[in-house]
């Protein structure tokens, strides 16, 4: 077990457990079979095909449709929202900078504004950016304050999120296709022109002028031949996996008071949990006081691109749910009447592949605070030591594949920057930008890499996105043009 501590380069403290043994022996398959060649029926043709209905996919589809494109979204599960709903990652993380300024807006803000008040738990706007010790302590226990600063990082009702996303997209004119798994991309002359997908109808094709890969793992762009990185920051929580779960019948206020007011007893409780179960995780708050959220135990050393590893994580996680519920019910204040409520339908994956893009978000640039020449979004940084981070359009565009943009946790960035660019608000941000970029490319009949970023920024701003002033971006562009080539 490794303990990941909060530092200036990461804000999340957690235990990460590594155990590579498997419940089942390795599969015994050898050799190969040949699949017969066959014609594949075209299911539908559209301007923009969005593959994956997680946070990035929802934002991309909505933004592209609002920008005038005919959009189809393909989703393998039965709902929208990805890990924020099916994965029970209902803690939405920070959308404000360290001064309380709301920097991730656009689709993200509209989505939350449409949520009913009873489905949203988080600090009032007046407290965003507050450094008041009492407020920071209170909201810190509720995942909305970090480094002593209150942030806008709400927890949302996952079932309401599913419906909210669904109705937003349908209202925007997006065609939804659930229970459909993209099996492979369609590539013609180095350009992605659609995907072949599997469903109860068999193998059919969805064709588009522009494809947006929001699978989270880069499944489409990787299989289409685009370059990707898969290195990780060793020891960081962000490369681990788990299946989240929620436990009902609890009193989280009592639990939080115990954790705050009795630190010695809490430390003893955690030590007994680790000794008793090995893999152990403390709960997070949810949107309700009577429901506890568990986003762990976080398991390292297994790959989300290996079906046997993924199976192992699921088996362990469902066992963890039972053992955690029993241990907390017997030993934790506020959990005396706890019961297993729900486990996530989606595996909690944090990292697999990252696009090799025309541009890249890099750790070395965190400290500049200046916009990049092709900025399409602004992200909070990981600590008050750093200013906000400018997100380039080039981080969404493959270096060596036409007809496709990528958004979500697999955007082009280094391993360190991935720690925050994979979060749900950043997925909304990059999805929003990719959707607008895809719509502009489809509407104008040009490649996604050839769009005028100024036009993309104009549409993004009209759709409510937060961006640096155009004059600052134009100055950055002139500086970049004058700089010698590396």
DSSP string of 258-271? HHHH-HHHHHHHHH
Is residue 394 in some structural domain?
yes
Report d(CA 174, CA 161) in Å as an integer: 17
User: Is residue 42 within 8 Å of 205, Cβ to Cβ?
Assistant: yes
Q: Which residue in the block uniquely carries the two structure tokens 């959220």? A: 293
CA distance 454 to 48: 20
Say if CB 141 and CB 160 are below 8 A apart. Answer: no
State residue 17's pLDDT score: 75
Q: What is the DSSP letter of 140?
A: H
What local confidence, expressed as pLDDT, does residue 466 receive? Answer: 98
Residues 341, 360 share a domain: no
Cα 202 from chain centre: 29
Residues 97 and 196 in one domain: yes
* Statement to judge: residues 328 and 411 lie in one domain: no
Q: How many helices (H) and strands (E) does the chain have?
A: 12, 24
pLDDT at 480: 76
CA distance 326 to 291: 15
Three-class secondary structure of residue 198 per DSSP: strand
Rounded CA-CA distance 354/410 in Å is: 4
Whether 70 is in a domain gets the answer yes
Instruction: Choose the final residue of a domain: 295, 316, 349.
Output: 349
| Claim to verify: residue 405 and residue 341 sit in the same structural domain | no
The neighbouring-strand residues paired with 379 are 389
11 located within any domain: no
Mode of pairing for the β-strands spanning 202-213 and 404-406 = parallel
Taking CA atoms, 228 is separated from 113, 231, 354, 382, in Å, by 35, 10, 5, 24
What is the pTM assigned to this prediction?
0.94
Give the C-alpha separation, 203 to 42, whole Å.
Answer: 9
What pLDDT is recorded for position 19? 78
> Is residue 197 located within the same domain as residue 48?
yes
What pLDDT is recorded for position 221? 98
Contacts of 234 (CB under 8 A, 6+ apart): none
Q: Measured between alpha carbons, how far is 46 from 56 in angstroms, rounded to an integer?
A: 19
Q: Do residue 356 and residue 345 come from a single domain?
A: no
Q: Tens of pLDDT along the chain (486 residues)?
A: 555 554 555 545 556 777 778 999 999 999 999 989 999 999 999 999 999 999 999 999 999 999 999 999 999 999 999 999 999 999 999 999 999 999 999 999 999 999 999 999 999 999 999 999 999 999 999 999 999 999 999 999 999 999 999 999 999 999 999 999 999 999 999 999 999 999 999 999 999 999 999 999 999 999 999 999 998 766 566 668 899 999 999 999 999 999 999 999 999 999 999 999 988 999 999 999 999 999 988 888 889 999 999 999 999 999 999 999 999 999 999 999 999 999 999 999 999 999 999 999 999 989 888 999 999 999 999 999 999 999 999 999 999 999 999 999 999 999 999 999 999 999 999 999 999 999 999 999 999 999 999 999 999 999 999 999 999 988 888 877 776 655
> 268 with 321, same domain?
yes
The pLDDT value given to residue 1: 52
Number of domains in the chain: 2
Residue 314 domain-assigned (yes or no) = yes
Spatial distance between the Cα atoms of 27 and 213, rounded to a whole number of angstroms: 30
Asked whether residue 34 is assigned to any structural domain, the reply reads no
DSSP 216: S
Is residue 290 in some structural domain? yes
Q: Decide if 379 is inside a domain.
A: yes
Q: Which helix (H) or strand (E) holds 254?
A: helix 252-261
Residue 479 belongs to some domain of the structure:
yes
Give the single-character DSSP code of 365.
G
* Boundary of a domain, candidates 327, 349, 371: 349
List Cα–Cα distances, 264 to 2, 388, 422, in angstroms: 21, 37, 34
Q: What is the pLDDT of residue 13?
A: 53
Residues 76 and 176 in one domain: yes
Shared-domain flag, residues 312 and 387 = no
Backbone conformation region of residue 389, classed left if phi is above 0, alpha if psi is from -120 to 50, else beta: beta
Please list the residues that pair with 71 across neighbouring strands.
Answer: 48
Judgement on whether residues 328 and 437 belong to the same structural domain of the protein: no
CATH code, domain carrying 465? 3.50.50.60
Start-to-end Cα distance in the chain: 41
Shared-domain flag, residues 208 and 300? no
CB 216 within 8 A of CB 410: yes
What is residue 231's predicted lDDT score, i.e. its pLDDT? 84
What is the structure's pLDDT at 11?
Answer: 47
Question: Kind of pairing, strands 245-248 and 354-355?
Answer: unpaired
Domain carrying residue 249:
240-349
Backbone angles phi, psi at 139, to 5 degrees: -75, -20
| Beta-strand pair 175-177/291-294 | unpaired
The encoded tokens of residue 188 equal 């013609």
Beta strands in 148-273 (DSSP E): 149-150, 155-156, 175-177, 181-188, 191-199, 202-213, 228-229, 241-242, 245-248
Considering the domain architecture, whether residues 108 and 219 belong to the same structural domain is answered as: yes
Final residue of a structural domain among 328, 349, 370: 349
> Are 101 and 130 in contact, with CB atoms under 8 Å apart?
no
Q: What is the 3-state secondary structure (H, E, C) of 421-476?
A: HCCHHHHHHHHHHHHHHHHHHHHHCCCHHHCCHHHHHHHHHHCCCCCCCHHHHHHH
């Amino acid at each position: 077990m490794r303990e990941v501590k909060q530092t200036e380069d990461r804000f999340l403290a957690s235990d990460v457990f590594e155990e590579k043994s498997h419940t089942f022996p390795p599969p015994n398959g050898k050799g190969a079979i040949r699949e017969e060649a066959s014609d594949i029926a075209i299911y539908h043709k559209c301007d923009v095909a969005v593959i994956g209905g997680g946070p990035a996919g929802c934002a991309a589809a909505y933004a592209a449709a609002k920008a005038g494109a005919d959009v189809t979204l393909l989703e393998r599960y039965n709902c929208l929202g990805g890990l924020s709903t099916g994965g029970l990652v209902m803690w939405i993380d920070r959308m404000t900078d360290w001064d309380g300024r709301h920097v991730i807006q656009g689709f993200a803000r509209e989505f939350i504004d449409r949520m009913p008040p009873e489905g949203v738990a988080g600090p009032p706007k007046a407290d965003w950016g507050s450094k008041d010790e009492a407020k920071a302590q209170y909201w810190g226990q509720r995942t909305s304050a970090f480094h002593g600063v209150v942030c806008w990082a709400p927890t949302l009702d996952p079932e309401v999120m599913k419906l909210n996303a669904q109705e937003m997209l349908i209202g925007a004119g997006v065609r939804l296709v659930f229970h459909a798994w993209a099996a492979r991309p369609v590539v013609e002359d180095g350009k992605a022109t659609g995907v072949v997908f599997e469903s109860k109808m068999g193998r059919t094709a969805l064709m588009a002028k522009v494809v947006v890969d929001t699978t989270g793992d880069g499944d489409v762009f990787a299989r289409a031949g685009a370059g990707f990185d898969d290195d990780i920051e060793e020891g960081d929580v962000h490369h681990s996996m788990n299946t989240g779960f929620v436990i009902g019948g609890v009193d989280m206020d009592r639990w939080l008071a115990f954790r705050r007011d009795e630190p010695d007893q809490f430390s003893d409780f955690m030590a007994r949990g680790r000794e008793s179960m090995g893999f152990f995780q403390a709960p997070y708050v949810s949107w309700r006081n009577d429901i506890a959220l568990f986003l762990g135990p976080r398991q390292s050393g297994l790959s989300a691109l290996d079906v046997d590893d993924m199976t192992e994580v699921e088996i362990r996680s469902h066992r963890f749910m039972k053992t955690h519920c029993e241990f907390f019910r017997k030993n934790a204040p506020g959990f005396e009447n706890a019961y297993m409520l729900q486990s996530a339908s989606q595996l909690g994956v944090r990292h697999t592949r990252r696009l090799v893009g025309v541009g890249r978000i890099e750790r070395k640039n965190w400290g500049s605070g200046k916009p990049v020449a092709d900025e399409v979004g602004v992200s909070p940084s990981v600590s008050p030591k750093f200013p906000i981070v400018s997100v380039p359009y080039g981080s969404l565009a493959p270096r060596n594949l036409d007809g496709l943009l990528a958004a979500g946790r697999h955007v082009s960035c280094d391993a360190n920057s991935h720690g925050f660019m994979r979060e749900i608000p950043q997925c909304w941000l990059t999805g929003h930008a990719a959707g607008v970029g895809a719509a502009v490319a489809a509407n104008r009949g040009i490649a996604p890499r050839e769009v005028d970023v100024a036009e993309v920024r104009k549409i993004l701003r009209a759709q409510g996105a937060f961006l640096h002033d155009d004059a600052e971006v134009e100055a950055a562009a002139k500086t970049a043009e004058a700089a010698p080539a590396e």
